Amino acid sequence: MPTMLKLTPYLRIGGNLLAPYLDGVDNFVACQTDESWKEQGPLRRKPSETYLRNALAVGILNLLHREAFQAAAKRVIVLPACLKDYGDWDCVAAGGKNPSECARCHSGCPVHDTLERFADDHTAVLIEPEDLTAALSKIKAEDGTIGVVGVACVLTLLSGFDRTIKLQLPTQGIFLNYSSCAHHWAAPPFNTEYSLRQLARVLGKESPDIDPPGDGRGVTYSLVRPHFSPDDFYQRLDYLAAVFAADYLPFYRQAKPDADLYTLSRDVLGALVPDLITRENA
């Protein structure tokens, strides 16, 4: 991103608008005093500004990639393993030989519901493949242009964007409503959820019978808010992306008139999230 772009005012605007969804982070970080938790989950120590920068970057990339994503003939939804329900029943996939393949054993599980509502000849669903790059490369080789929808927690979603940008695949990101996996956040883990209505919007399949999920939690494991609204959150994020496009993108285009979508995407990541969290350093 050209150095003439002063992002401090933008971060201030973003921080003010997203404050209701980030105001529990620093208190959560302050509670992480047990050394074993720190070793098992370094993401628990990230300050609220890291959450803000990651959220803003996803919002901007969603806007930049939207047109190319909508033009893709096939879509691939990539879900995290933590969406598999840890309820009173046993997840067949979690305990079986193919943990990346949903057995559709329980309605109400977010993975089951995603498959039931959205999987078809033009939309594939993957559950956290061991090698995401290889899995997407294989689908791209077979089907040509594809668009990717990634679902993950606020601090790991950009790791997926980083890989799809390298593959030159237009991508849309959706946050988990809260984080719960044993690897980064909770011990023992518990099931999480995300906004099916937001996914429907991204896929152009909006339906009045898709209600936004939510049990009062926010976009991180640490946030417990009585009136969390995914609809409100994504409206705020879209507004902030539009502000970036109006106030900053013209300067970028002037400085780099020949930059393609993926060069621009890498520059956005470099400017907003210079210490990008990847699967290797999470």
- Per-residue pLDDT tens over the stretch 24-48: 777 777 776 665 455 446 777 788 8
Bridge partners of 125, per DSSP, are 77
Rank 123-132, 205-214, 227-236 by mean pLDDT and report only the highest: 123-132
Judged against a pLDDT cut of 70, whether residue 189 lies above it is answered with no
Q: Nearest CA to 62 among 178, 205, 162, 161?
A: 161
d(CA 230, CA 213): 8
d(CA 74, CA 89): 33
Predicted TM-score (pTM) of this structure: 0.87
Q: How confident is the model at residue 118 (pLDDT cuts 50, 70, 90)?
A: very high
Q: Which residues contact 131 (CB under 8 A, 6 or more apart)?
A: none
Q: Can you list the alpha helix ranges (DSSP code H) found in 96-229?
A: 110-118, 132-143, 157-166, 196-203
Task: Produce one character per residue of 8-26: b if its CB has 16 or more CB atoms within 10 Å, e if not.
Answer: eebeebbeebbebbbebbe
Judged against a pLDDT cut of 70, whether residue 213 lies above it is answered with no
How large is the average pLDDT for residues 197-222?
Answer: 65
Longest dimension (CA), the chain: 57
Q: How confident is the model at residue 53 (pLDDT cuts 50, 70, 90)?
A: very high
More confident residue, 167 or 219: 167
